[in-house]
Amino acid sequence: MSGPELGLAISVFLACAVEAVEALTIVLAVGVTRSWSSALSGVAAAAVTLAVIVAALGPALTALPIGVLRLVVGGLLLIFGLQWLRKAVLRWAGLKALHDETEAFAAETASARAAGRRSDGFDGYSFTIAFKGVLLEGLEVAFIVLTFGANQHRVGLAAAAAGVAIALVTFVGAAARAPLARVPENAMKYAVGVMLTSFGTFWGAEGAGASWPGGDAALLALIPAVALASAGMVAWLRRLPARTAVGAT
Amino acid sequence: MKSVAVAVWDFIVGDDWVTALGVVAALGVTAVVAATGAAAWWVMPVAVIALLLLSLRRAAR
């Protein structure tokens, strides 16, 4: 496996694991509080929708000429990655609340209880919340799988890394039957932000016609450079006058 | 159709369109520099660090 392929697999795995942990919390909350069968039906429906999106867009993207693909998809990945990295830096600087699965589980459970009585059969609330939760968290994963996979013509590898992450989180979640609050989600989100930003920068520049010194090996300098620069920004923000952290997302 | 476009915009660009515009501009500058035959690889890393810094400064205000 080449360096960029390893980077692809790690980035997709981390991103997918984080999103799967968040989706698991939502599904657990409605499953425990209301209806497991309806919640799991929602999960299945969302999984099918996501698979259709990846199957439809994957081949269309990989059919684009590599220069256009790297420019457009690299640019989109960079815009998307900078969002992740900005939020991660704000979290570590104390300007945005850290994501807490126990808190998220409590909030989802309270909403599920407040949603009124459930019928004995199919529970529309559980289905809808589980469907929406998995679809929204999954769309970020689908975007990362498609952009990373298409750029290296390795959509299969990206999908496999995503599948392993989902299977692992599902297995641990089923065993624990509780939100996976001990997963270092905030650190993982930071790492994903660094990877998305670095790969987006690399591919975007290549797509625009630039040649990196050392070719793909430039990523080995770019990833630590982005990580170091963002860590410096965390230190800078921490020195600013104290402000109240805004909500986690 | 409009709601789909708005959803896609929110999903990819989020609440910081200035950074998105900056990325597009930086890619354009990279293309122009590369077309002259000069080394253009440095434009994007410099732009990305500057855009992140400016975005964080706006968020921290």
Q: What is the pLDDT of residues A177-223, one digit of tens each?
A: 777 777 788 888 899 899 999 999 999 999 999 999 998 889 999 99
Residue A96: φ, ψ to 5°? -145, 140
In a domain, B9, yes or no: no
Give the global pTM.
Answer: 0.84
Q: Give me the pLDDT at residue A144, please.
A: 84
Mutate which: A53, A68, A76, A79, vs B, most B CBs within 10 A:
A79
Say whether pLDDT at A23 is over 60: yes
Q: Give me the pLDDT at residue A247, please.
A: 58
Q: Give me the pLDDT at residue A117, please.
A: 67
Q: Give me the pLDDT at residue A2, please.
A: 75
For A:109-138, CB contacts with B below 8 A are: none
**Mean pLDDT, rounded, for A10-21:** 89
For A:220-239, CB contacts with B below 8 A are: 222, 225-226, 229-230, 233, 237
**Mean pLDDT, rounded, for A38-61:** 88
In a domain, A117, yes or no: yes
In a domain, A247, yes or no: no
Task: Note whether B49 contacts A: Cβ–Cβ < 8 A.
Answer: yes
Collapse the DSSP code of A248 into the 3-class scheme (helix H, G, I; strand E, B; otherwise coil) and give the result: coil
In a domain, B7, yes or no: no
Which of B33, B45, B59 is closest, CB to CB, to A201? B45
Cβ of B43 and A210 within 8 Å? yes
In a domain, B5, yes or no: no
Query: Between vectors from CA A235 to CA A193 and to CA A82, what angle results, nearest 5°?
Result: 20
Q: Give me the pLDDT at residue A118, please.
A: 64
Distance CA(A228)–CA(B46), nearest Å, equals: 14
Number of independent structural domains in chain A: 1
Confidence band (pLDDT; 50, 70, 90) for A49? Answer: very high
Residue A141: φ, ψ to 5°? -65, -45
Mutate which: B52, B53, B54, B57, vs A, most A CBs within 10 A:
B52
Collapse the DSSP code of B10 into the 3-class scheme (helix H, G, I; strand E, B; otherwise coil) and give the result: helix
In a domain, A248, yes or no: no
Nearest to A157 by CA among A58, A42, A45, A85: A58
Q: Give me the pLDDT at residue B9, please.
A: 81
Confidence band (pLDDT; 50, 70, 90) for A249? Answer: low
Distance CA(A42)–CA(A101), nearest Å, equals: 20
Number of independent structural domains in chain B: 1
Cβ of A76 and B12 within 8 Å? yes
Answer for the pair A126, A39: CB distance below 8 angstroms, yes or no.
Answer: yes
In a domain, B6, yes or no: no
In a domain, B10, yes or no: no
In a domain, A234, yes or no: yes
Say whether pLDDT at B27 is over 90: yes
Distance CA(A31)–CA(A113), nearest Å, equals: 11
At a CB cut-off of 8 Å and minimum separation 6, what does B25 contact? B47
In a domain, A18, yes or no: yes
Cβ of A85 and B52 within 8 Å? yes
Q: What is the pLDDT of residues A27-37, one digit of tens each?
A: 998 988 888 89
Q: What is the pLDDT of residues A54-73, one digit of tens each?
A: 888 877 877 788 888 889 88
In a domain, A246, yes or no: no
Q: Give me the pLDDT at residue A132, please.
A: 92
In a domain, B3, yes or no: no
Distance CA(A204)–CA(A220), nearest Å, equals: 16
Q: Give me the pLDDT at residue A243, please.
A: 63
In a domain, A131, yes or no: yes
- Among A32-41, A74-83, A95-104, A113-122, which is the least confidently predicted range? A113-122
Provide the residue range defining the domain that includes A116.
3-238
Say whether pLDDT at B12 is over 80: no
- Among A21-30, A230-239, B1-10, B31-40, which is the least confidently predicted range? B1-10
Provide the residue range defining the domain that includes B20.
15-60
Task: Note whether A147 contacts B: Cβ–Cβ < 8 A.
Answer: no
Which of A82, A95, A211 is closest, CB to CB, to B19? A82
